[in-house]
Structure 1
Amino acid sequence: MDASQILTALKNELSQRDFEHYISHLQFSEKQSKADYLVFVAPNEFMAKFIKTKFGEKIAYFYEAKSGNKAKINIISTNNDKLKHHKSTTKLDIVHIKAQSTILNPSFTFDNFVVGDSNKYAFTTCKAASDKDKLGKLYNPIFIYGSTGLGKTHLLQAVGNVCIELGKKVTYATSENFINDFTLHLKNHTLEKFKEKYKNCDALLIDDVQFFGKTDKIQEEFFHIFNEIHNQSGQIIMTSDKPPNMLTGITERLKTRFVNGIIADITPPELDTKKAIIQKKCEFNEIYLRQEVIDYIAASMGNNIREIEGMITNLNAHSKLINQEINLDLVKAVIKDHVKEMKENINFEDILNLVCREFNIKISDVQSNKKMKNIVMVRRIIIFLSRELTSISMPKLATYFDMKDHTAISHNIKKINELINKDLELKNKIDELRNKILVKSQQ
């Protein structure tokens, strides 16, 4: 395939929405491209960065699969600072007009954020705070914390996108952006420009503030920016992987500012929420997955939603390239390396303790030869999950449960498989247990 034809060919590989809203705005730059380096031009910097982030790897993968040549993909913007108009103006264009200096992902909205028990408080707080009459007045500051990949950035940018639609000026930055920006302006003796950039906004959104603990100068500058915005009733929202009191290297006066508002945590999603998230992502990207496939992905992967989204994208690309439906066998083949990597962090004792606690059964009872129905069931579930999620051998399991030999272990696994096929409630319970075990292994 000629590199100049790749965009046209992608029309059949992507959803109509993605192609029309994003890819159709690109132009191939033959002048700037080489055999192993392809350059595409977008109408503005915002769109260039967004397309590169969301579709760069997919374009490279598709080009290599079709042409046999491996190439690095780069997407740049035109030199014209003014936004070029197209036949159809997208929401992406509107965002750029209103906030040319702010890089927000337009797909991060409250509407496509899946709410569950694990994130409900954070979601409700952010949505209420972004109301046009309450911005900077109702909940300020807001401090959201939780592990990587649970949706903190999505919520943060959802607030930003609402603010932009309201005509407000938004400054969004990761802590890395903030630090690099400060360092550059310090080097160029233009700190006043730096201060003006961050202070002159209606909403300041900072991702991963835990990294501010590395430098006293950064904290000093952020402290003053924080105070000035807060005094002017500007909205401040921050995210972190830990609550304020557990942040290392952060000064007490900054911690005091962080806790002087709303603190909301996002915890690993329960199984039903993970299923709903997968379903929502598939709908947004026009990908069809059967319910059994959604159930398997939700139960077999950990709590990092970003990794789950990446897996869905990978499955979709894989399916289209080999012209095969995304069925359970394909999913198991693609996901096996990820599951294998996660297994390395799981041990038999974790499964034993968690399952016994869930069913309120003593470990000594499970280990005994007691034949009571509930104890037998728990014992079988432990055996089933241990064989699936760890490398423990059947002879070792037989020894632990004082069974004759490995054939007894095989019998218990076979029995559970039979029951799962007949009993949906049991299947869901085992899926839920598997999810909790995988989540615990990532903590």
Structure 2
Amino acid sequence: MELTAETVWKNCLSFIKDNIQPQAYKTWFEPIVAVKLTDNALSIQVPSKFFYEWLEEHYVKILKVSLTKELGETAKLVYVIKMENTYGNKQPFTEKIPSSNRSAMKSQDVDVPLNNKNPELRNPFVIPGIRNVKIESQLNPNYSFENFLEGDSNRLARNAGLAVANKPGGTSFNPLLIFGGVGLGKTHLAHAIGVDIKDKYPEKTVLYISAEKFTQQYIDSVKKNNRNDFIHFYQIIDVLIIDDVQFLSGKSGTQDVFFHIFNHLHQNGKQVILTSDKAPVDMQDIEQRLLSRFKWGLSAELQSPDFETRVSILKNKLYRDGVEMPDDIIEYVAKHIKTNVRELEGAIISLIAQSSFNKKEITISLAKEIVEKFVKNTKREVSIDYIQKVVSDYFQMDVSTLQSKTRKRHIVQARQLAMFFAKKYTKASLASIGSQIGKRDHATVLHACKTVDNLSSTDKQFRKYVEDLSKKLSI
């Protein structure tokens, strides 16, 4: 059977797919098209130069192995880079670049020279051809304005979100910082703004990402020596939504790179939306220059919903789920669960489940039973002070002893456990944990966490301490 470019590439893909992560395969190999096969050289078309460089840096070995399997030791790989040319029309041009077997193959001519006078290609903020790579928004369409009910507790934030969605980058609410406690709807509102913008302006590039994931991507880019590509990518976004921005506390490298991305987006009229569990004034270990930029636009607080809003939220939830429930039961749940929307909806879901699974009628007594269990089992917000108190009580010492400078082994271990659980159960930075537990620095906290991990795996008695304290702190 005669070999074709398609069959050779299909076999290569089959081998590659078995040897890399599914997400990586989807991102970097599915968009590739086999073009032709001549003289044992397979030509494949990639969406951009950036794409080609990424393949060369990260996947050259697996490409070489897979192609050698199919075509033998003399196999060659030629990239055809498809870009829009810079004169405004959509006529593609190609740049042919030899792959890993460079010594065996001279560089071929570029069909259209890249050294034209158009400034776009020289602009360091544009990766040539990047617009051909579709950026998924990562938005959840279930989070919409329609099911984000307005009340006194969220009116300012919701209306500001609607204004931004109508005119992204064109209002004085840039950045829009939405802050408030756990389960009050920060993430829901951030998604709702993004979903509405995509609906109204389909051509705009919208991206939702958590600050934690953003940080991880940045760390990976530094490891792989492509920090500039990371920055370039974020600078082409029209609407950037970063969730839980307080996670950047104490991470100076990530803060620095975000500072440059933020400046570029803001200066170019792009919209930035941030969420945080605290107001800018209360954020610790965030650089002043970033905090001042957070205050350029609007900081809107989400507060705990009042009784009327809680009733409306429950009725809306039941209506969307097609469930009917007597008003007195809805009001009972709304009256007794006041902390946040997530707990409120969780309780009503539990009530419906109990009723349908156990074939029980939904009554006030059933509601009371569920609410009591739910409130009792709701994981409390654990503070560093509370952790120190629990650890001190467990080891029968005062908090002041725990925080003291003494090097006695049992006190040092108690202090290290307090630091370990503070890192595990709170969102505080290492520096913040250290300052609250005996005025130590972040390096001491990091060392404490590593010590606890090591001792847990080698010392049976110490493992029991960790297990006992975990139970006490998880109540």
TM-score of the superposition, structure 1-length normalised?
0.53
1:143 partnered with 2:177: yes
| From 79, 89, 103, the counterpart of 2:138 | 103
User: 1:323: how far off?
Assistant: 2.2
Residues 281, 100 of structure 1: alpha-carbon distance in 2 compared, 3 angstrom cutoff: farther
Corresponding residue for residue 400 of structure 2:
none
| From 114, 119, 124, the counterpart of 2:149 | 114
* More helix by percentage: 1
Corresponding residue for residue 394 of structure 1:
none
User: Counterparts of 2:306 and 2:283 in 1: how far apart (Å)?
Assistant: 26
Residues 226, 291 of structure 1: alpha-carbon distance in 2 compared, 3 angstrom cutoff: same
User: Counterparts of 1:266 and 1:118 in 2: how far apart (Å)?
Assistant: 6
User: Counterparts of 1:343 and 1:145 in 2: how far apart (Å)?
Assistant: 21
Larger radius of gyration: 2
User: 1:254: how far off?
Assistant: 0.2
User: Counterparts of 2:233 and 2:380 in 1: how far apart (Å)?
Assistant: 46
User: Counterparts of 2:257 and 2:324 in 1: how far apart (Å)?
Assistant: 48
Residues 112, 99 of structure 1: alpha-carbon distance in 2 compared, 3 angstrom cutoff: farther
1:157 partnered with 2:191: yes
Corresponding residue for residue 209 of structure 2:
173
User: 1:338: how far off?
Assistant: 2.7
Corresponding residue for residue 273 of structure 1:
309
SS class of match (1:184): helix
1:296 partnered with 2:332: yes
Runs of 4+ in 1 over 6 A off after TM superposition: 342-345
Deviations for 1:125-181, whole angstroms, at most 9, x for unmatched residues? 1101111xx210112111111111111111111110011112121111111111112
User: Counterparts of 2:340 and 2:354 in 1: how far apart (Å)?
Assistant: 21
User: 1:313: how far off?
Assistant: 2.0
User: Counterparts of 1:325 and 1:164 in 2: how far apart (Å)?
Assistant: 43
User: 1:186: how far off?
Assistant: 2.0
Q: Which residues in structure 2 correspond to 1:66-105 (within 5 Å)?
A: 101-105=136-140
Residues 119, 99 of structure 1: alpha-carbon distance in 2 compared, 3 angstrom cutoff: farther
Question: In the alignment, residue 318 of structure 2 is paired with which amino acid?
Answer: C
User: 1:305: how far off?
Assistant: 0.7
User: Counterparts of 1:171 and 1:344 in 2: how far apart (Å)?
Assistant: 32
SS class of match (2:338): coil
Q: Percent identity?
A: 35
Corresponding residue for residue 320 of structure 2:
284
User: Counterparts of 2:343 and 2:134 in 1: how far apart (Å)?
Assistant: 29
User: 1:342: how far off?
Assistant: 7.3
User: 1:99: how far off?
Assistant: 7.1
SS class of match (1:214): coil
Q: RMSD of aligned C-alpha atoms?
A: 2.3
User: Counterparts of 1:109 and 1:145 in 2: how far apart (Å)?
Assistant: 18
Identify the structure with bigger relative contact order (alpha carbons < 8 Å, sequence gap 6+). 1
1:230 partnered with 2:263: no
1:249 partnered with 2:249: no
Question: In the alignment, residue 268 of structure 2 is paired with which amino acid?
Answer: Q
| Contact preservation (8 Å) 1:173, 1:206 | yes
Residues 99, 115 of structure 1: alpha-carbon distance in 2 compared, 3 angstrom cutoff: farther
Residues 105, 258 of structure 1: alpha-carbon distance in 2 compared, 3 angstrom cutoff: same
| Contact preservation (8 Å) 1:130, 1:162 | yes
| Contact preservation (8 Å) 1:99, 1:164 | no
| Contact preservation (8 Å) 1:171, 1:198 | no
TM-score of the superposition, structure 2-length normalised?
0.50
